[in-house]
Amino acid sequence: MSDPTTRPGVGKPRTGDTPTDQPAEGPAADGQPGQPGENPTGQPGDSPAQRRERSIGRLGDRKRARLDELARATADPGGVSLYRDALRRLRRNPVAIVGAVIVGLFVLVAIFAPLIAPHDPVQRFDELTRDLTVDSIPGATAGHPFGSDPLGRDFFSRMIHGSRQTLFVGVLATLIGLTLGVLLGAVAGAFGGWVDVVLMRLTDVMLALPSLLLAITLVAMASRSSQWTVIFAVAIVSVPIFARLLRGSMLAQRESDHVLAARALGVKERNIVLRHMLPNSLTAVIVQATLTFAVAILDAAALSFLGLGDPDINRAEWGLMLGVDGQRYFEVRPELAYYPALAIIVVALGFTLLGEAMREAIDPKNRR
Amino acid sequence: MTERTGPENEAATQRSATDDAATGRVGTDDAATGLPGTEAGTTTAPGDAGAGQGRPLIELRDVKVHFPIKSGLLFDRTVGYVYAVDGVSLSINAGETYGLVGESGCGKSTLGRGLLRLVEPTDGEIVFDGADVRALKGESMRKARRRMQMIFQDPLSSLDPRQSVESLLVEGLKAHGLADDKEATSRRLRDTLKAVGLPASALSKYPHEFSGGQRQRIGIARALVLDPDLIVADEPVSALDVSIQAQVLNLLEDLQNERGLTYLIIAHDLAVVRHIADTVGVMYLGGLVEEASSDDLYREPMHPYTRALMSAVPVPDPLVEDRRERILLAGDLPSPTNPPAGCRFHTRCPWAQPTRCADERPALRDVVGGHRVACHFAEDIAAGRLRPHDVAPELVRPDDGGAPGDTGELIPTL
């Protein structure tokens, strides 16, 4: 039991009241060195009280300045925000580095595809078509490291250009899915009540169907298949996942102490949702987006594989290459299937690794 | 009281040192000081609290907070209620500290939150500085929150991890339109930080960069920056190291002296409450069972439950500790979904009588000089006319997922 007489801190001097035990010296201190310095006008008429007042203020100021200086010197220049801290931990995680390297390479290849690819991806080469028959497709030759595709086009260049299409479909589908999902989830989580019930039953229905089946249905519903129907179908499939995730973590945030604290402060309900619940819930969604990206690439490839993808025969796309050419000519030249499949797997793996590492890094529990 | 040589005698001797301090306190008795609205700290003489004659800043009358238990697949059906707070009346004078104690689950935190309407009270009246808090709606309630602030138990989880200290402190000011002048705001933040013993350099840092005690200081600063009149502190030190606990409690006390704050301190630690509170209320199963000035309560607990609580506090003298009488409560704390009829405590009370206890709920009544007790036989127990007897322990039937609504049933074991 803590005894009030021995409480620490009760007799503790505060900045500013330390020198109060010096008044007795006050009058005598006049001629001492140091005193004229602060009293340049040398007014002898100063009462001891006034002088004491000045001395206290001065001592307090000096002490305060010294403390501040000390604080500046020892403290790190600024606070470490959640994201900066996460980034620091991300950089130390080998899994994150592997994922980031894969993703980085993939994005670079996609952006600079026309510069990297040795040939035009749609041009049919005479030297390749010459040897093209039903049961033989030319392999690697000089100038064509991966050989030919079934139409006599440079397979290597098509692989490189395929990354563009994959990135495009993946980014767009994820972004659309993320936006719609965040909207639905935020509305459900912020309003609750029957809005929440209606929206969540809707997502339940969508989640009840296997995602690929739902995507196939959506594509089949479109009158004319194009790359946009693929993007849209893949995006819609990911909406309920985002919505549920955001809604769930917003509900958890609603019960959290810091939201309660904000409410106790008198922060407006709208600001509580926008400044506390939503930002704190978004981290989970951002991580999910990285993982969804991998799924979107796979789903798009699956749709192409099933012949529901982009009908444009000239467009280089990994899923299409795997599904149409790879499947049809697997006996003749299995590389036509191997390379696109490998590319899809590696890229999806890269995004998954990065996503998992982000999930770990961003978790506030890991903060020291 | 004289014939009993129970724990209270020991408690009384042990208390003597503190009593001296307390009498010194009671001496200054300005009933009018520390009123809300007066400039904080200017008119309040340090330690004018404890006299019990101040104007009540906040009054609760028969406040109830019941949580519905919902069940059902498609349509939620209310199958019962958790009677978390079931009829509590108390008042806190301006500038005083009211300590609320009780074991976990007795509803003390819910009462604190209900008082601030962070959970909506089901019934009752809350009067803050003459205004009915429960009648306030939307925006006016939000505005009223400036004057009644809260300090939380877990300093880390109550601070948004993505906010810097500056943003944490400014948020409340902004919400009440007090952050318009940049210069003044910055000064206000620095002054508040200084008041809670943190350097100004803390402003740019984030909660995770501080120690537990420092975090709680940030939490206090956040409440303090709005210059409130009432602060509800929900277990303000129970998450902290013992050495830090004293610091934070002293800080709260100093701030009260400087600014004339009124506190409702919720704690389960009897020592903490004794240290800081002027008036102490003891809660059991959603109701107040005893209320008295801190000195009275610790010297002479009158309700059987309070006696049991007090006898659980160890005495730092091995001889006394070995000889003193301890009241061990038998059985489980009954479930608040299904509280016992009559006196809530009669299922575990060693003084329970065959008449009245099981069928008449005792009201909190003044027994001696401001000492309020909710027990039919308080006088008889205090005078020693009733002796404690054995209690057949009753256990709470565990919730085995059976039919909802019949959880918390008490099973007699003998």
CATH code assigned at A350: 1.10.3720.10
A71 inside domain: no
In percent, the amount of chain B with pLDDT more than 70 equals: 82
* Residue A269 located in a structural domain: yes
Within 249-308 of B, beta carbons closer than 8 Å to A belong to 249-251, 254, 271, 274-275
In the predicted model, is pLDDT for residue A324 greater than 80?
Answer: no
pLDDT at position A77 is: 45
Confidence tier at A39 by pLDDT (50, 70, 90): very low
CA–CA min distance A83, chain B (Å) = 8
Confidence at residue B73, expressed as pLDDT on a 0 to 100 scale? 66
Query: Tens digit of pLDDT for each residue in B248-270?
Result: 999 999 999 999 999 999 998 88
* Torsion angle in degrees (nearest 10) through CA of B247, B251, B252, B253: 100
Taking residues A234-256, report their average pLDDT: 91
In a domain, A39, yes or no: no
Strand stretches in B172-315, DSSP E: 230-234, 262-266, 279-284, 287-293
pLDDT of residue A350 exceeding 80, the answer is: yes
Please check the confidence at residue B396 and state whether its pLDDT lies above 80.
no
Residue A166 within any structural domain of the chain: yes
- Identify the closest residue of chain A to B143 by CA–CA distance: A266
Please state, in angstroms and rounded to a whole number, the distance separating the CA atoms of residues B250 and A12. Answer: 11
Tokens of B99: 């300590």
* B73 CB within 8 Å of a chain A CB: no
| Confidence band of A47 (pLDDT split at 50, 70, 90) | low
Identify whether the C-beta of residue B60 lies closer than 8 Å to the C-beta of residue B386: no
| β B230-234/B148-151 pair status | parallel
- Determine whether the interchain pair A68/B250 forms a contact, defined as Cβ–Cβ distance below 8 Å: no
Which residues, numbered 181 to 240 in chain B, qualify as contacts with chain A under a Cβ-Cβ cut-off of 8 Å?
194, 199-201, 204-206, 208-209, 219, 222, 226
ipTM, interface predicted TM-score of the complex: 0.78
| SS3 category, B91 | strand
Report the pLDDT averaged over residues B12-41: 39
- Which residue is associated with the tokens 């008082």? B115
Q: Is position A151 within any domain?
A: yes
Evaluate if residue B48 carries a pLDDT over 60. Answer: no
- Among B213, B199, B366, B360, residue whose Cα is nearest residue B296: B366
**pLDDT of amino acid B223:** 94
What pLDDT shows up at residue B413? Answer: 62
Domain count, chain A: 1
Query: Quick check: B355 and B380 in contact, CB under 8 A?
Result: no
Q: Which residue has the higher pLDDT, A54 or A12?
A: A54
Kindly state whether residue A300 falls inside one of the protein's structural domains. yes
pLDDT, residue A301, reads 81
- The model scores a pTM over 0.80: no
- Lowest mean per-residue pLDDT among A170-174, A269-273, A310-314, B367-371: A310-314
Alpha helix positions (H), B324-394: 378-383
User: Span B296-307, mean pLDDT?
Assistant: 91
Least confident range of B47-61, B265-279, B316-330: B47-61
What pLDDT, on a 0 to 100 scale, did the predictor assign at position A172? Answer: 93
Is A260 in contact with B208 (Cβ distance < 8 A)? no
Q: How confident is the model at residue B411 (pLDDT cuts 50, 70, 90)?
A: low
Contacts with B116 from chain A: Cβ below 8 Å: 264
SS3 B59: strand
Residue A22 lies inside a defined structural domain of this protein:
no
Residue A58 lies in a domain: no
- Rounded distance between C-alpha atoms, residue A324 and residue A230, angstroms: 16
Long-range contacts of A20-26 (CB under 8 A, 24+ apart): A20/A52, A20/A56, A22/A52, A22/A55, A23/A48, A23/A52, A26/A51, A26/A52
- Per-residue pLDDT band for A64 (boundaries 50, 70, 90) equals low
Domain that holds residue A336: 94-366
